[in-house]
Structure 1
Amino acid sequence: MFYMPHNIMVRQRQRQRPGEDADMPKLIHSKQSGLEFIEFMGDRLSRYSKNELRDIYNTEFRAREGAKHPNFSSVVFALLTFDQIHIKKGKIYKNGKLKVRASSDQSKMLGPHQTPRHGAQETTTGSPDRATTDTKPGLTPKKKRATEILQMMKTNRNGMTADEEGIEITSKPEGSDGKVHLTVDFEKQPFVITFTILNKGTNFVNFTNYTVLDRVRCYNLKDERKVTKASPLLLCPGESYDVAVAYMLNECGYFPATIYFEFQLELPKPMTFCIVREIKAVVQTSLGAELGPVAPYKPFQKVKSKPAVREVVEGVPPPSSSVQTATVKLVDYKYPTYLKELVYQKMEDSKYLSPAARQQLASVKKLLESSLDMKNYSRRYHLLLHLEEIQMEVDIKKYNLHNQTMTQDQGNRKLLTLKVPGVAENRPSVLRGDCLKVTKSGHTGSSVTVYTGYVHKVELDRVKLGFSKRLLEIFINKMKFDVEFTINRLTMKLQHRAVELAVKHELGEVLFPSDTAVSTVSVTDLRMFNRQLKDNPEQRNAVQHIIAGSSKPAPYIVFGPPGTGKTITLVEAINQVSKADPSAHILACAPSNSACDLLCERLKSQLSSYQLYRMYASSRDPNSVPKGLLKYCNWDEKQDCFVFPEKKILMKYKVIVTTLFTAGRFVTGGVPVGHFSHVFVDEAGQAEEPQCVIAIAGLLCPEKGQLVLAGDPKQLGPIIRSPYAIHHKLGLSLLERLMIRKPYEDLDSRFVTKLLRNYRSHAAILKIPNEAFYNNELQVFADQLERETYCNWKPLPQKGFPVIFHGVLGKDEREANSPSFFNVSEIEKLVTYLNMLDQTQGKMGLPKLSAKDIGIITPYRKQVEKIQKALKSLKTLSHWNDLEELKVGSVEEFQGQERKIIIISTVRSSLSYVKMDTDFNIGFLSNEKRFNVALTRAKSLLIVIGNPVILRKDPVWRKFINYCVEMKGYVGIDFNSVEEEDLFEAKMAALRITDSECPVGEMSAFQQHVDPGWKNEL
């Protein structure tokens, strides 16, 4: 950086006549503040360096008057411009005969206030002023002082807040234990807290200094005498003095602060001591009060287990709908008991391990640490899947119910109906064929009878269960049961079998490809079925390479960033394969039923019901199937259920669409290897590799077949629960694993095409994700009218920039026994924006809004629930008939979706829990992919509500917030007033709660905080 010599700066200012300055009023105001500061400092001015003066200006002078005074740099510039000061060797000196007041003699005796007790320090006459004592390199006096204070608060809080040497500090409103807690109605702020300092002792005490340590400047300090070290106040015995702390913002939120008071005792011996008070202030609306914690947070207590001796009575499963004969058996693949022991002992040797577990410990750890290859492929994935299942068994217990009643089904008296809250959201997932275990409530005997009930039907929040005659014979109304949920092991078994078959059928060139095996092929220019692809070179290139088979035997990847049309590209490729090769048979899959339905909807325009077949699992709810697909699928009206056809019928279809899990049915049913010439997997980045391999192993011929994967490795991968499975890459999809190795990482067009044209978002919304994740290569091709819909929305801070970041200082809260977090202040602000959207719809060129046009994204389950509660209570939105269509959910729930308007509530507002988020991969600060997915769902308006101080710890969030500031899209708290960031990191560290709520072997953090819907995509 180039620095202009000081004498040249002065000459330039002298040449610039004050009257010529365009900002003269501001300059004069800055000059006046500077003169007041010079008077405030007195003869201390030249004692300090410029940086030290900056600290004194901000903490002792400016803090008293808040926004009244400009920043220090502006003041210095003005004083130099008007020739009131000069700078020499890093110190500031006044010019001419400016009058200054002499400092009090007592200031000479002020020394460091560090002490083994609680802040008292003996001093001697002539001891240097604290601000001039030696400090660590780069540590300013303010930082040193504050660090000392916070360290003392950490080690001896009671001592720091205790009254001392006869000085008593009380407050109005009244506090206790050194803290002033208050909640203020937003309509009644600003508020003032008055601290009264009373000398109840027999000695004379000087009140020498006070300051506020607040992360963001939100309080003004006022006192009649303007006490400072330069101008202390002598408190005689019995005298009192008031200091007022006034809140100066106009925002809802949580505003904590530490007020530091410093005193000087002269007799019987000189000493300096301090007393500290803490403010815990919340400003909220009536809605905020309504959404607060329903009960104090108490960590979840495990329910005492039933007696170990059990008699299990099997229930009655639903009738089978399959006409298939199982050609390839699906075995149980149960995890070994020793593995559970190792998990509970954190993979460490322990006296609690059995001999078998201790014997296996070293080999298990070695396998976990090994790199994946075809030699260890099945063994390593068996281990990771077992670890995941162990965690799933723990997590599913969250939904266990106690003291529940069941009723006999009126249509079939052999079935009992149980109400299961959350089942409609897959919390928990309960499907036809699943089993639940029930026991009589209140059983106290040495053994217990467990009745297994099989799910026959799911209706909204009720499940119909088939139990044995033994239970039905003793069943009476109002009989109470404890209900235990179980995981559906079918999905795990299918993945275990798939990784075994991958080795058996030697899929090495498919799963670990190299460019050396590729033969040279020519790419033919094709006439597109979908004319939109004609003008998109990347989409057209991808289709042509897939048809040519340029990557075979390696997979071809369609790298589709948000809104770039990867599904349309896959559909075109499937149609082209169908046309080009009459003998081709195509299996098109995706992890979710919704993605499969979308594929099928788009394929049916070119394929008849004799060519296209949509195969559903028997557990699929027929009411959730798009009506247009019923004639293409395996729905049997006579049996009133989905059926699995015989192999010979399935093999007649040109294209079959199904989920990855249900694709395992083809292996079980004996569809021969090589029958499917092509396997397409959409949203491949959302499936763990063993899930993806279900559609490949035992079906695709590695020498002749073509695998096509479409997805985005920069977006979220599959949901994995086990900390061990996460750490050892079970969450790494096949698509992402390939994209970080050659030849894919080089974007070789024979193997991969990166789509570049974004058809979804306004350029302002796309900018930061584009730069951070896509090398700034994405191009804006969204419809201009649609993407600019909200560019002139009146509440926008900057016209033409449809992005808002609203800075809020909220509070991380929890309630009852739920460990998940919520932030009421952010919900209050979110509701404000919803009301503004409602009030402006249909006006000034804006369209009428439907609830389906808006999506609200937040990372924590409890925040989702609180927002949903707020929406239901809002009278202003009661006229929205489709309000239930306004989706509120986690980032994971929004992947693959889009909305005209996206509002994001980030929740996190405390550094105390940032490490927990990072350790357990929850929240926004731990995962760039979560940031990417959340922001890129919006088409025409993006509103982000969060704490900028916390979020700016992350480089991607910092870039986004700075971008909003630069484009004038930032509103809310002024984070530029944040003082001494590292100081507050120290404070948070000092007050941090050691988080041990998620030990290995207990419920996963992801389950506790996010509570994702359970996989039910059969």
Structure 2
Amino acid sequence: MASVGETKRPKDCKLCFEELDDLHLESSNHVFNYMLSTYQENKTSLRSDRHGVVVEVDVQKKNGFNYNFDTTQKKTKGKYTLKMTPKEFYLHGCQVEFSCVIKNIRREKNVAMIYAGVLHPYEPFSMVDPNNNMGKFPSLKPGGTYGLKVILKLDKCNVSNYEIPIFFSLQAYSKQNKESMMNFSITRTIVVIIQEDILEPDLFEKSPFTHNEWQKVQVHKHSKRFHRYMPTDQFKIPQKYKRSLALWSYNQERNINPAIWQEFQEKLYPGTLSADNYADFWKILLWLEEIKTKIALQAYNMEKVTLKFISSSQGLRLGVPGLGEKRPSVIRGDKIVIKIHDQAHKSYEGLVGHVGDKAVDIVDLDDEIVELIKREPDTLIDVKFILSRIHFERMHHGVEQVALNGLTRQLFPGTDLLKKQYTERINLGEQDFHNGDIYKNYEQRLAVTKIVNLSSKGAAPYIVYGPPGTGKTVTIVEAIYQLKRNTDLKILVCAPANAACHMLAEKLSEFCRTSELLRVMSETCDTSSIHDNIVKYCNVIRDKDKSGSEKLKVIPFPQEKLKDYRIVVTTLVFAGKYTRVYHPDVVFLDEAAQASEPEACCALSLLMPDKFVVLAGDPKQLGPVVNNKVCKNYGYGISLLERLSDLTLYKNDLISDNNFTTMLKLNFRSHKEVLAIPNEQFYGNNLEACSVISNHDPLAFTRIHSGIMGGKVNQKKGGAVEFCAVLAKEQRHGRSPSYFNSSEVNVVLQYVTALMALQFPDKNKNLRPSEIGIVTPYIRQVYKIREVLSPLYKDEIEVGTTEAFQGREKRVIIISTVRGQHDLLLEDKKYKIGFVHEPKRFNVAVTRAKSKLIIIGNPLILNRDKLWKKLIEQSSRLGTHCGVPYTNRDQKERDNITSRFKNLQLKDFMRTSS
């Protein structure tokens, strides 16, 4: 069944990810990738000793040194691994040698050696023949052997994994057919790992996730459960659609009832979002997203786990592997049902009270189960996660209300609005600005002026397009100040996350009394991040828990009193609670690019058609999270801000009298070299790096890698962008979806140590740990880096994923890219995890740095991505490309590898001796 709006497109080559045609099949690129693919298919047989030939590899001993040489994988993977510390490698003269012995274990018949070499050219590796017979080997008689050497020689002790596949092509008489010759090849892989063992060994137990569904059991709920924020079961998925939506979510459209499929297509017609299908379109997509999220959550049901009693909350703590990477995705207020493992007839329902990186607290449980765990903490428990529907309910209601209120006209504006006349009724002088710096910034001043004069009121949202470091939030805060000062309008200020709302409330509190500003939040809000200076503006009270510790407790806020405040700040989804009772005149959506359109509708649904909307954000950075691929294909992952930004109306930002958008252009954060690539690739070179502090920071002119290698740090021959090449393989534990790279952890530690040792003439320029941020795409790498840094810097150095750093900045950003599969015969283009082939994640990561950006990664992988390739090329121009030597896989290199493969017998081949 074809989806609505689906058009036929040429098929892509599964090997090359390029359009498949006859010319492509004959191209050198396809031949190369086909060769690699065939090699992958035959690796298992290639590394096997056979036809009476055995290949052994050993490290050449030197001065009685005790080597850490692992041969346990020689049978399973044909791999030999040598581990050395940088100091040990240095004491070896930065050179190690391996012997490769080919043995003919037959009782009769010679074996001919046809060829021996490395599959991939790599300058530090060489294969030599002590007998000088390379290319013309003698035959091996029965019981005979022949020895070759493989040498790794480096100039420096760079931390990395040095791995190279070697192969031997041979010819022998077939044991089955004495008159026939068998041509075959045997491969081996030598790995030299140079790094310190700084990570503690992980002890991983069997995963507690079972994927098992529960049978129906009686559920006991707390008698005093607080129901105020529980869902009301509105907009539930119709029973007749559940199976079909689940099938669709897992690409099984052909099994859907044709009549139901037709209904779906009619509601989605013409296959893209429009003003006409707005409510029905989002209803289907929200159901799809909900059902996929619900099914995905059930996969994390747990069995035979133990819980810990928490006296402060009178609840239970549950350890959840993968929680920090949202596997499972659990938020405060979600339901969790638990039961004693051997008792199938009775279970207990509670709520998620707190979510950490590795554990959740379950509160509001029946006292019976809490007391049992308190007395018998070793009791084995089964756990089931249940999706809270309240977010989906509010999004459904928001979308429906936006359509009913006639607001869809503003959300699909046409180019005819460019003719709209604009009258500037409120003139702002320099003395009128709360923040005087905004008056001096043309684009910021223009945006504030347009907003205070409601330039697009009733016609379309006004967009403040704020690339990194351009002062987007301070601009809209100034605009709110001017609206408060010059009008009597009621203002709603929203953001997707509570942390952003807290920050907005702090900035607004500078010019608001408690009778004017309200920061209203739900009872599920984590209050630990609320600073003391805004407590008086929030619906919280100071309360003591049962342990005597004081904490903030959210109290319900009377809905009818919202209208008494000039400015209300809350999250987008929570705003949907007040649709029927609160109707502001102006709605500001900060960080609007991170919110899905239905999420934005939770706030927009409070508006009447002739009111004013301001969206602030950057569509070139991370957008909404989508679980369902079908939803993603239909645009669920495109925020309202990004969708509007693609319209002609919003692309006329160069027109001086545009009433609908302003692009902020002065970047106050980053050094010009840090900003160069993202500016070119994402912002049309419109940004100007105007931070005097960052552009003149001595750190930006210092080559840090020199300090890592034991040399003197040169404070005049560096650049703001530094790339350190590390060829090392990522790892993961069991089925964990999260990767780590221990070699990169080593290099991160080396860089941090070198940075903290820097001494500038001006002592005020010396680095503090809090000025360093470390960004990595995988939560497991976050944990590994924290493990080695925390004992030294007491968590002063912030380490987090890309998502955690969005909106943040640090004087120094170190990026550990992790993705480093260094078997050079793998198909690199298949890697679409982490930073590779993820433009928005790349943009966020590299634009967090103020004065120094340090990238640690595998250039052989990163060079496959055009953005990372440009960054690596930039470091070469700056003279800050460092780390291990490597050869780029350009066409010349590919041709070289292809020529070597001609000597490799990918499959055993029999031919008659005649």
Bin for the TM-score computed over the shorter chain: 0.7 to 0.9
Contact map agreement 1:200 1:238 (CA 8 A) in 2: yes
Is residue 530 of structure 2 the alignment partner of residue 617 of structure 1? no
Structure 1 distance, partners of 2:325, 2:172, is 67
CA distance 1:431–1:857, change in 2 (3 Å): closer
Is residue 41 of structure 2 the alignment partner of residue 154 of structure 1? yes
| Secondary structure of the structure 1 residue equivalent to 2:375 | coil
- How far residue 667 of structure 1 moved from its aligned partner, in angstroms, is 1.4
Structure 2 distance, partners of 1:294, 1:982, is 44
Deviation track 1:32-78 (CA, whole Å, cap 9, x = no partner) reads xxxxxxxxxxxxxxxxxxxxxxxxxxxxxxxxxxxxxxxxxxxxxxx
Contact map agreement 1:406 1:477 (CA 8 A) in 2: no
Match for residue 795 of structure 1 among 687, 704, 708: 704
- How far residue 887 of structure 1 moved from its aligned partner, in angstroms, is 2.2
CA distance 1:405–1:973, change in 2 (3 Å): closer
CA distance 1:808–1:638, change in 2 (3 Å): closer
Structure 2 distance, partners of 1:351, 1:506, is 34
CA distance 1:822–1:559, change in 2 (3 Å): same
How high is the TM-score relative to the length of structure 1?
0.73
Structure 1 distance, partners of 2:159, 2:356, is 42
Match for residue 453 of structure 1 among 350, 360, 385: 350
Code of the residue aligned with 1:550 in structure 2: it is S
Match of 1:501 in 2: 401
Match of 1:316 in 2: 223
Is residue 244 of structure 2 the alignment partner of residue 333 of structure 1? no
Is residue 310 of structure 2 the alignment partner of residue 373 of structure 1? no
Match for residue 287 of structure 1 among 197, 211, 216: 197
Match for residue 893 of structure 2 among 980, 987, 991: 980
Is residue 771 of structure 2 the alignment partner of residue 853 of structure 1? yes
Match of 2:285 in 1: 384
Match of 2:363 in 1: 465
Is residue 599 of structure 2 the alignment partner of residue 691 of structure 1? yes
Structure 2 distance, partners of 1:533, 1:845, is 32
Contact map agreement 1:558 1:755 (CA 8 A) in 2: yes
Is residue 522 of structure 2 the alignment partner of residue 522 of structure 1? no
CA distance 1:826–1:468, change in 2 (3 Å): closer
Match for residue 651 of structure 1 among 558, 563, 583: 563
Match for residue 210 of structure 1 among 116, 120, 143: 116
Q: Which moved more, 1:734-743 or 1:277-286?
A: 277-286
Contact map agreement 1:178 1:276 (CA 8 A) in 2: no
Deviation track 1:61-100 (CA, whole Å, cap 9, x = no partner) reads xxxxxxxxxxxxxxxxxxxxxxxxxxxxxxxxxxxxxxxx
Deviation track 1:932-955 (CA, whole Å, cap 9, x = no partner) reads 000000111111111111111111
Structure 2 distance, partners of 1:236, 1:604, is 89
Code of the residue aligned with 1:342 in structure 2: it is S
- How far residue 330 of structure 1 moved from its aligned partner, in angstroms, is 6.2
Is residue 648 of structure 2 the alignment partner of residue 742 of structure 1? yes
Deviation track 1:750-769 (CA, whole Å, cap 9, x = no partner) reads 21111110000011111100
| Secondary structure of the structure 1 residue equivalent to 2:506 | helix
Aligned length: 818
Contact map agreement 2:316 2:361 (CA 8 A) in 1: yes
Match of 2:212 in 1: 304
Contact map agreement 2:302 2:383 (CA 8 A) in 1: yes
Unaligned runs of 5+ in 1: 1-135, 992-1018
| Secondary structure of the structure 2 residue equivalent to 1:439 | strand
| Secondary structure of the structure 2 residue equivalent to 1:181 | strand
Is residue 739 of structure 2 the alignment partner of residue 817 of structure 1? no
Q: Which moved more, 1:761-770 or 1:827-836?
A: 827-836
- How far residue 886 of structure 1 moved from its aligned partner, in angstroms, is 2.4
Code of the residue aligned with 1:813 in structure 2: it is Q
- How far residue 513 of structure 1 moved from its aligned partner, in angstroms, is 1.3
Match for residue 778 of structure 1 among 687, 712, 728: 687
Is residue 823 of structure 2 the alignment partner of residue 934 of structure 1? no
| Map 1:835-850 → 2, pairs under 5 A | 835-840=753-758, 845=763, 847-850=765-768
Match of 1:545 in 2: 450
- How far residue 579 of structure 1 moved from its aligned partner, in angstroms, is 1.7
Deviation track 1:726-748 (CA, whole Å, cap 9, x = no partner) reads 22211110000000112012325
Higher Cα Rg, which structure: 1
Structure 1 distance, partners of 2:99, 2:356, is 59
- How far residue 684 of structure 1 moved from its aligned partner, in angstroms, is 0.4
CA distance 1:785–1:303, change in 2 (3 Å): closer
Match of 1:277 in 2: 187
Match of 1:758 in 2: 667
| Map 1:419-498 → 2, pairs under 5 A | 419-420=318-319, 433-443=333-343, 448-454=345-351, 463=361, 465-468=363-366, 477-478=375-376, 479-498=379-398
Unaligned runs of 5+ in 2: 1-24, 60-70, 90-94, 545-551, 707-715, 905-914
- How far residue 963 of structure 1 moved from its aligned partner, in angstroms, is 1.3
Match for residue 665 of structure 1 among 577, 580, 598: 577
Structure 2 distance, partners of 1:782, 1:732, is 32
Q: Which moved more, 1:473-482 or 1:599-608?
A: 473-482
Deviation track 1:532-590 (CA, whole Å, cap 9, x = no partner) reads 01221111111111122222321000000000001111011111111221x21111111
Q: Which moved more, 1:809-818 or 1:184-193?
A: 184-193
Match of 2:784 in 1: 866
Is residue 55 of structure 2 the alignment partner of residue 169 of structure 1? yes
CA distance 1:455–1:256, change in 2 (3 Å): closer
Match of 2:750 in 1: 832
Structure 1 distance, partners of 2:467, 2:851, is 18
Structure 1 distance, partners of 2:761, 2:385, is 51
CA distance 1:448–1:545, change in 2 (3 Å): same
Contact map agreement 1:418 1:462 (CA 8 A) in 2: yes
Structure 2 distance, partners of 1:493, 1:914, is 42
| Secondary structure of the structure 1 residue equivalent to 2:861 | helix
How high is the TM-score relative to the length of structure 2?
0.81
- How far residue 716 of structure 1 moved from its aligned partner, in angstroms, is 0.6
Deviation track 1:200-258 (CA, whole Å, cap 9, x = no partner) reads 565566645322113644411111233344x5546566653321001224433333322
Q: Which moved more, 1:749-758 or 1:369-378?
A: 369-378
Structure 1 distance, partners of 2:234, 2:776, is 38
Code of the residue aligned with 1:287 in structure 2: it is D
Match for residue 767 of structure 1 among 647, 654, 676: 676
Structure 1 distance, partners of 2:530, 2:875, is 42
Is residue 161 of structure 2 the alignment partner of residue 254 of structure 1? yes
Structure 2 distance, partners of 1:370, 1:555, is 24
Is residue 607 of structure 2 the alignment partner of residue 700 of structure 1? yes
- How far residue 627 of structure 1 moved from its aligned partner, in angstroms, is 0.7
CA distance 1:399–1:886, change in 2 (3 Å): farther
CA distance 1:790–1:239, change in 2 (3 Å): same
Match for residue 964 of structure 1 among 875, 878, 881: 875
| Secondary structure of the structure 2 residue equivalent to 1:210 | strand
Code of the residue aligned with 2:609 in structure 1: it is P
Code of the residue aligned with 1:194 in structure 2: it is S
Deviation track 1:166-221 (CA, whole Å, cap 9, x = no partner) reads 65433225643671321321343332221123455655666453221136444111
Contact map agreement 1:914 1:925 (CA 8 A) in 2: no
CA distance 1:973–1:362, change in 2 (3 Å): farther
Contact map agreement 1:293 1:816 (CA 8 A) in 2: no
- How far residue 384 of structure 1 moved from its aligned partner, in angstroms, is 1.4
Contact map agreement 2:318 2:362 (CA 8 A) in 1: no
Structure 1 distance, partners of 2:32, 2:217, is 64
Contact map agreement 2:309 2:317 (CA 8 A) in 1: no
CA distance 1:468–1:359, change in 2 (3 Å): farther
Provide the identity percentage: 30
Match for residue 316 of structure 2 among 403, 413, 417: 417
Code of the residue aligned with 2:659 in structure 1: it is R
| Map 1:991-1006 → 2, pairs under 5 A | none
CA distance 1:197–1:178, change in 2 (3 Å): farther
Structure 1 distance, partners of 2:190, 2:409, is 62
Match for residue 953 of structure 1 among 848, 861, 864: 864
CA distance 1:892–1:203, change in 2 (3 Å): same
| Secondary structure of the structure 2 residue equivalent to 1:312 | strand
Match of 1:99 in 2: none
Match for residue 727 of structure 1 among 633, 641, 649: 633
Structure 1 distance, partners of 2:827, 2:761, is 43
Match of 2:808 in 1: 897
Contact map agreement 1:891 1:933 (CA 8 A) in 2: yes
Is residue 497 of structure 2 the alignment partner of residue 597 of structure 1? no
